[in-house]
Amino acid sequence: MTHVPPSAGVILRAVQPPAVPLGNALCVLEPLKPAHIPALWQAFRGHNALWDYMFTGPFANEADFTAWAESRCGLRDPLFYAIRAPEGDWSGLASFMRIDVAHGVIEVGSLTFSPALQGTSAATGAMFAMMEQAFALGYRRYEWKCNSLNLPSRRAAERLGFSYEGIFRQHMVVKGRNRDTVWYAITDADWPRLREAFITWCDRDNFDAAGRQKRRLSELTAPLLHARDPGLR
């Protein structure tokens, strides 16, 4: 006898992300195009460690980087974005990837933040803008995955409100090395409260005259996590 589980009444309404600009008061994101590439190269050059856990890079010269970046322009999955602060130059990359419209699942990945972008409100704002877009487009699940050795990425995921879901051991071989992959996610059920946490953090009153935050984002997101990453304790 075949046992069919009862319907949970799931309504699937996700759509393919359009290649449109995103942003908020903290950041500007534009679908990657050739005009962004020179500034990105200047932001990334000399910082080879940025590529340690990536599938590509580092790049020996501007021509190699340009060839790779141009090959990313115009793709729909992954859909790459260039990132900058409102008053700054292009200094980071991120993408929507592994887009599964049928099941309402989408991943944020390819995060390459130059030293100038790392740890800034623009970096956090960019992640908030991409979350907002994903859930506005009807996605049920928003994923973050990284190499288990990449502790900065693991810390960032938890700070941003992604709940820990476990480790896929020996998941991949990247640049000839084993990769155990840590999985995190935010669901559409998590999103309303998490969105309020971001709005509270982004509020102008949360920053002093020098631009320093009064309340850390992690203070606001920690109570909302379904599970914390045991590798960070």
User: For 165-217, what is each residue's pLDDT tens digit?
Assistant: 999 999 999 999 999 999 999 999 999 999 999 999 999 999 998 888 999 99
If you average pLDDT over residues 106-118, what whole number do you get? 98
Establish if 11 belongs to a structural domain. Answer: no
| pTM confidence score | 0.95
The answer to the question of residue 15 being in a domain is no
Question: Does 25 have pLDDT greater than 80?
Answer: yes
Is there a domain that residue 228 lies in?
Answer: no
In a domain, 107, yes or no: yes
Note whether residue 209 is domain-resident: yes
The span from the CA of 64 to the CA of 205, in Å, is 44
Angle of helix 121-136 versus helix 191-202 axis, rounded to 10: 150
CATH code of the domain covering residue 98: 3.40.630.30
Write down the H helix ranges in the chain: 37-44, 62-72, 121-136, 151-159, 191-202, 217-221
Task: Give the residue numbers spanning the domain of 203.
Answer: 22-221
Residue 14 falls within a domain, yes or no?
Answer: no
Question: Does 227 fall in a domain?
Answer: no
First to last CA, the chain: 47
> Is 63 domain-assigned?
yes
- Token pair of 23, please? 């942003």
Q: How many domains does the chain have?
A: 1
d(CA 207, CA 213): 4
Q: Taking a C-beta distance cutoff of 8 angstroms, is the pair 132, 145 a contact?
A: no
